[in-house]
Amino acid sequence: MTRADDTAPITTTGAQHDRQRNQRNTMKSTWMAAVAMVTATTLLTACGSGSGSGSGSAAAPGEKVTLTYANWSEDQTPAMEQIAAEFQKANPNITVKVQTLPWTEYWSTLQVGAAGGTAPDAFWMLADHFREYAKGGQLLDLSETVKAGGIDTAVYPKAVTDSYTYEGKLFALPKDFDTNGIWYNKALFDAAKVAYPDDTWGWQDVQDAAKKLTDKAKGVWGVAAPIDPQGGYYNTILQAGGSIINAEGTASGFASPESVAGLKFWTDLQAAGSSPTLQQLSDTEAVSMFENQKVAMYFSGAYWAFRFHKNADLKGKVDVAPLPQGVKRATVTSGIGNAGYAGSKHPEELKKFLAFLGGTKAAEIQAATGTVLPAYKGTQQPWLDAMPEFKLKVFIDAIEYSVPLPVAGNASEWQGLAAEYLAPAWDGKKPVQDAAKEYQAAVDEVLAKQ
């Protein structure tokens, strides 16, 4: 989840998502709401939006218009500013101001702004939050924009486009996409004399390698095994032949034998002592432990490539391999969507900007800077070329066996319950099948409310 966020996936650290997140937002919601109220007022009041549902009229010819574009990633902000500058060259009457909010504030701030008429004009959206905004009428319908502009949505991964479609209408254009792989530290593998992971690895190979790589005297673990849906247990559930949510979006499948097997892959790693404990992963997020070279393997998405690439301490030490096989290969896929606020005072200019964000130029800028894997077909090669030290084609090849991130019902709500129900199994205090059954019941209760 995606977590296309650039801080961490959602885990019991309280981070999915990005996706991610997700989630940890649930654990922080009380204090975040207060922060968001202040932040929404101070940061977003000048965003050029107003209440309503996109009923504003287009600016008069030559009239200056200012749009705001919100994101949660400092790493990606330079690329977003470059994209905005390119748009402004062709549209000199439209100024785009890029706003970057911390991940811990982004969603609460957006929620407050959307409800109060002060939301940014354009903003990043995640699939697990999308429906609550679409159902609430807070997103700009881009269906006619796509049709009038001759935008071929076939250039985007179908799974990502579908994630931003509600009741037959498209409310966001895919910005990027992600699949998952095994990020691994070659130096730690070399020190333990363990062969690097490759496309022949299965679950047992991971278990065996993680044990050999763990050296608690040095504070090093073979793998990070947090409660991470997008980078972790969703993938192993699917690899075991299980299901997360049924096709109708009415019931979950966490308690099936196959799904329990997918969850047990992670609890077994915890039980073997091959991973930091949940408490340790709460004190220091999994991605940070990987960057600090305290864990040798980290299962997660393409969105970490740029961050690892920029980390001088990891130079020459990190690479990525495909996820291991279970009964079959599988990975969830998702991506950030560029959405627009339905209450914008400048809906026509906003639609023009969103169409630009969904086009080739914006995708090429993202790819060339190495910022993220763009969703636009045919623009990914510069991303691969920007970070040749990694086998990044792993993420593109994974599209063949990818499954859309489940977003049925109020996804952010039922995903946010994962830590509460699954932590006892991760900590070895409750059988996995019991925790899975209780979590399934809780998820089904949320789905019944849709």
DSSP β-bridge partners for residue 182: 299, 321
Q: Under a CB-based contact definition with an 8 Å cutoff, are residues 277 and 295 in contact?
A: no
Q: Is the dihedral of CA 182, 75, 341, 347 positive or negative?
A: negative
The yes-or-no verdict on residue 35 having pLDDT over 90 is no
Residue range 191-245, pLDDT digits in tens: 999 999 999 999 999 999 999 999 999 999 999 999 999 999 999 999 999 999 9
* Residue bearing the bigger pLDDT, 450 or 165: 165
Q: Which residues contact residue 341 at a Cβ distance below 8 angstroms, ignoring those fewer than 6 apart?
A: 49, 113, 114, 119, 120, 121, 122, 123, 138, 139, 140, 350
Helix (H, G, I), strand (E, B), or coil: what is residue 84?
Answer: helix
122-125 sheet: strands from edge to edge: 94-100, 65-71, 122-125, 337-340, 172-174
Structure confidence at residue 412 (pLDDT): 85
Q: Is the dihedral of CA 129, 134, 137, 140 positive or negative?
A: positive
| Side chain identity, residue 407 | V
The mean per-residue pLDDT over the stretch 409-418 comes to: 90
pLDDT band at 345 (very low <50, low <70, confident <90, very high): very high
| Averaged pLDDT of the chain | 88
Rounded Cα distance between 301 and 9, Å, is 9
pTM, rounded to two decimals: 0.82
Backbone angles phi, psi at 139, to 5 degrees: -110, 145
Residue 26 has pLDDT above 50, yes or no: no
Strands 295-301 and 221-223: parallel
pLDDT, one tens digit per residue, over 117-141 is 999 999 999 998 998 899 999 999 9
Greatest mean pLDDT among 38-42, 204-208, 412-416? 204-208
> CA-to-CA distance for 336 and 80, rounded, in angstroms?
13
Residues 6+ apart with CB under 8 A from 307: 6, 75, 287, 291
pLDDT value of position 241: 97
Question: Would you state the pLDDT for residue 56?
Answer: 54
Lowest mean pLDDT across 155-164, 208-217, 264-273: 155-164
What pLDDT shows up at residue 409? 84
Which stretch of 4-13, 119-128, 134-143, 401-410 has the lowest confidence by average pLDDT? Answer: 4-13
Rounded to whole angstroms, the Cα distance separating 312 from 324 reads 28
Mean pLDDT of 424-449: 97
Cβ-based neighbours of 224, under 8 Å, separated by 6 or more: 275, 276, 281, 286, 289, 290, 295, 297, 298, 299
37 pLDDT above the threshold of 90: no
So what's the pLDDT on residue 57?
55
pLDDT > 80? residue 40:
no
List the single range of 150-159, 265-274, 292-301 with lowest mean pLDDT.
150-159
Mean pLDDT of 401-425: 92
**Strand pairing report for 180-185 and 122-125:** unpaired
Q: Tell me the mean pLDDT in the region 83-112.
A: 96
Give the separation between CA 380 and CA 385, rounded to whole angstroms: 9
Stated as kind and residue range, the H or E segment containing 432 is helix 432-447
Mean pLDDT computed over 404-413: 87
pLDDT band at 48 (very low <50, low <70, confident <90, very high): very low
C-alpha neighbours within 13 Å on the C-beta side of residue 349: 31
| Cβ pair 122, 339 in contact under 8 A | yes
Report the distance separating Cα 26 and Cα 12, nearest Å.
Answer: 11
